[in-house]
Amino acid sequence: MSVSSEALVLTVDGIPVRPVTVEVAPGILITILDASVTDTRLEQAVDDDSVDPYASTLWPSSIALAGELPGLVSPGSTVLDLGAGTGLATLTAAHLGAWATAYDHDELALRLIEEAARSQGVEVETALFDLHSREALPPADLVVVADLFYDHDLAHAVARRVIAQVERGGIALVADPGRVASADFHRYLERRGLSGRFHTVEVSPPGPDERPIGIEIHLFGD
């Protein structure tokens, strides 16, 4: 995998963003829009608690997750990207011919995904969504989650979504760098009798001086 960012800074809904291109697999180049180039989002979050300043930042777990998709996604399959962030997984799935939907609680993140999809000529759906809600997700072949275990409640919310997906006969793919609530997620699944398969991949975060980090990839379902 390789990551390259452009010096050009664009503006979407008044927010400065930078195109970042990720080679998620040999010959598959996906461009996302990253809003971490300035402190604008952090400043907005001070006055508006609905703003997530980290939602539209490219994280290593998203890169690792997207790299798994060519082996799991086929044309016509349905993919739900929960806590989609920059939408790298959503855009990759769409590039591979899937019907892909990005779910996130941050409106700007969804706007950036829509704009990135439009610029690359792929079709995606987006949905403003709270993972803590009891609202059911639609049936899908694959549910993907990257780097969401920031607290106990969120880890349990994701675990419930993974269980629901597997119980319906689908597959769930989770990428985790080892956040504070990772153990909570796995304990919840173990109590429900659900175990998966996992392996670790190394990803180099964006930035010339960043060292590769290990990301655990967990696959649940048959």
Orientation of helix 152-167 relative to helix 182-191, angle to 10°: 40
pLDDT, tens digit, 9 for 90 and up, residues 92-138: 999 999 999 999 999 999 999 999 999 999 999 999 999 999 999 99
Helices and strands in the chain: count of H runs, count of E runs: 6, 11
Residue-number span of the structural domain to which 37 is assigned: 2-220
Per-residue pLDDT tens over the stretch 31-48: 999 987 655 544 444 454
Residue with tokens 């809904």: 13
Measured in whole angstroms, how far is the alpha carbon of residue 31 from the centre of its chain?
14
Whether residue 12 is predicted with pLDDT greater than 90 in this model: the reply is: no
Whole-number pLDDT of residue 13? 82
Predicted TM-score of the model (pTM): 0.91
At 82, which CATH number?
Answer: 3.40.50.150
Give the mean pLDDT of 142-156: 96
Q: Please say whether the beta carbons of 51 and 45 come within 8 A.
A: yes
User: Mean pLDDT over residues 156-177, rounded?
Assistant: 97
Strand residues in 72-209 grouped as ranges (E): 78-82, 99-104, 125-128, 142-146, 171-176, 197-203
Coil vs helix vs strand at 113: helix
What is the full DSSP assignment across 63-103?
Answer: HHHHHHGGGT--TT-EEEEET-TT-HHHHHHHHTT-EEEEE
Tokens 């050009």, residue located:
8
**Number of domain units in the chain:** 1
Buried b (16+ CB within 10 A) or exposed e, 154-178: bbbbbbbbbbebbeeebbbbbbbbe
Asked if 28 contacts 95 with a C-beta cutoff of 8 angstroms, the reply is yes
The DSSP bridge partners found for residue 175 are 146, 217
Q: What is the mean pLDDT of the chain?
A: 89
Are the C-beta atoms of 66 and 24 separated by less than 8 Å?
A: yes
Say if residue 53's pLDDT is above 90. Answer: no
Whether the per-residue pLDDT at 23 is higher than 60: the answer is: yes
Helix (H) or strand (E) holding 2: strand 2-5
Mean pLDDT of 166-186: 97
Environment class of residue 75 by beta-carbon count within 10 Å: exposed (0-12), middle (13-18) or buried (19+)? exposed
Please indicate whether residue 39 or residue 190 has the higher confidence score (pLDDT). Answer: 190
